[in-house]
Amino acid sequence: MTRKTLKVALLQETDRGSRDANLDAIETGLREAAGAGAQLVLLQELHNGPYFCQRESVEVFDQAETIPGPGTARIGKLAQELQLVVVASLFEKRAAGLYHNTAVVFDRSAEIAGKYRKMHIPDDPAFYEKFYFTPGDLGFEPIDTSVGRLGVLVCWDQWYPEAARLMALAGAELLLYPTAIGWDPTDDQPEKDRQRDAWITVQRGHAVANGLPLLACNRTGFEAAPDDVGAGIQFWGNSFVAGPQGEFLAQAGTDRRELLLADIDLERSEHVRRIWPFLRDRRIDAYADLLKRFRD
């Protein structure tokens, strides 16, 4: 049997200080990825600027953009020129007072193939996303592309096995997570290690539980808190690609810009699901309590 191999690229980047500089860096990365033979490129969460959710500020809403809009036009043009499937991540202005954290997929075309609006929205110190983002309303629907059905989720969705499972049940062939996660610089090193290891482990678990390859692209570098309202965030990078048994296919470093490349055997999921038939053995007749917030 001929194996079907997909070469993927993850563009782990730092904030370059301006929207144009970030888009220039993305263009450079996409050209590098295409030159290396990649067919699918995953970008990090909210890649057009700094991670602005460290504080609550109404002026930040001015950074949001419509979809389609200028940001999607530039990335879409590159996807078409370079014949790439690209998963981008934008601060979407849907209407006045209505904003989303939205992933956008281009399929070797300037036209948008599909989008996903982040469903789980955090509200933690330095991650005040509930102030900015309305929870998504597009559901957990894979996006069909020329390289397969993409189950695109975003950052905080990474902690929820339900999200990955619903994408798998809807026929996703790959799970993809654009991400912006990092350390509080005041935490000690053991706590930092626990947080990063938990982030990696839970996603590898999603790959295993669903028998699917998984791509997680994180940003890297230190971003100071605006107006010195906090300690800032040290984004921990460590973007990675895992196979359907959770095995690492590629992993980036912690503190530098990196174009991470990996080859994915798309036929392995079928093999893994035959020996580990988790979908077959699910007790769907006994899961009604999952629809409750908590069992009192």
Partnered with residue 128 across adjacent β-strands are none
Taking residues 14-22, what's their average pLDDT?
A: 95
Which of these is catalytic: 13, 92, 93, 155?
Answer: 155
Residues 166-193 have pLDDT tens digits of 999 999 999 999 999 999 999 999 999 9
What are the helix and strand counts (H, E) for the chain? 5, 15
Given this model, what pLDDT does residue 15 score? 96
3-state helix, strand, coil in the chain (%, to 5): 30, 30, 40
Strand runs labelled E in the chain:
5-12, 40-43, 85-95, 98-107, 112-117, 143-145, 148-152, 174-179, 182-183, 214-218, 220-223, 233-236, 240-242, 248-251, 258-265
What is the C-alpha separation between 248 and 216, in angstroms, rounded?
A: 11
242: in domain: yes
| pLDDT for residue 1 is more than 70 | no
Instruction: Tell me, yes or no, if 53 is annotated catalytic.
Output: no
Which of these is catalytic: 118, 129, 217, 223?
Answer: 118
Instruction: Tell me, yes or no, if 7 is annotated catalytic.
Output: no
179: in domain: yes
Reported confidence tier of residue 296, pLDDT bands at 50, 70, 90: confident
Taking residues 69-90, what's their average pLDDT?
A: 97
244: in domain: yes
286: in domain: no
194: in domain: yes
| pLDDT for residue 132 is more than 90 | yes
Residue type at position 238: N
Taking residues 251-279, what's their average pLDDT?
A: 97
118: in domain: yes
Instruction: Tell me, yes or no, if 45 is annotated catalytic.
Output: yes
Smallest CA-to-CA distance from 87 within 152, 180, 132, 167 is with 152
Given this model, what pLDDT does residue 3 score? 62
295: in domain: no
Report whether 19 contacts 70 (CB < 8 A). no
Phi-psi region of 224 (alpha: psi -120 to 50; beta: other; left: phi over 0): beta
23: in domain: yes
Q: Which has more pLDDT, 229 or 147?
A: 147
Report whether 249 contacts 220 (CB < 8 A). no
Residues 154-167 have pLDDT tens digits of 999 999 999 999 99
Residues 35-45 have pLDDT tens digits of 999 999 999 99
State the angle between helix axes of 70-82 and 19-35 in degrees (0 to 180), rounded to the nearest 10.
20
Taking residues 186-209, what's their average pLDDT?
A: 98
Structural domains in the chain (count): 1
Residue 204 to residues 133, 164, 199, 222: CA-CA distances in angstroms? 27, 11, 9, 26
Given this model, what pLDDT does residue 2 score? 45
| pLDDT for residue 220 is more than 50 | yes
Taking residues 197-223, what's their average pLDDT?
A: 98
Which of these is catalytic: 13, 45, 92, 129?
Answer: 45
Please give the share of the chain, as a percent, with pLDDT higher than 90.
Answer: 96
Given this model, what pLDDT does residue 60 score? 96
The dihedrals phi and psi of 247, each to the nearest 5 degrees, come to -70, 140
CATH number, domain containing residue 210: 3.60.110.10
Q: In sequence order, what are the residues at sequence separation of 6 or more whose Cβ sits closer than 8 angstroms to the Cβ of residue 166?
A: 140
Q: What is the mean pLDDT of the chain?
A: 96
3-state secondary structure of 93: strand
Does this model's pTM top 0.75? yes
Residues of the domain holding 36: 5-279
State the angle between helix axes of 161-169 and 189-210 in degrees (0 to 180), rounded to the nearest 10.
20
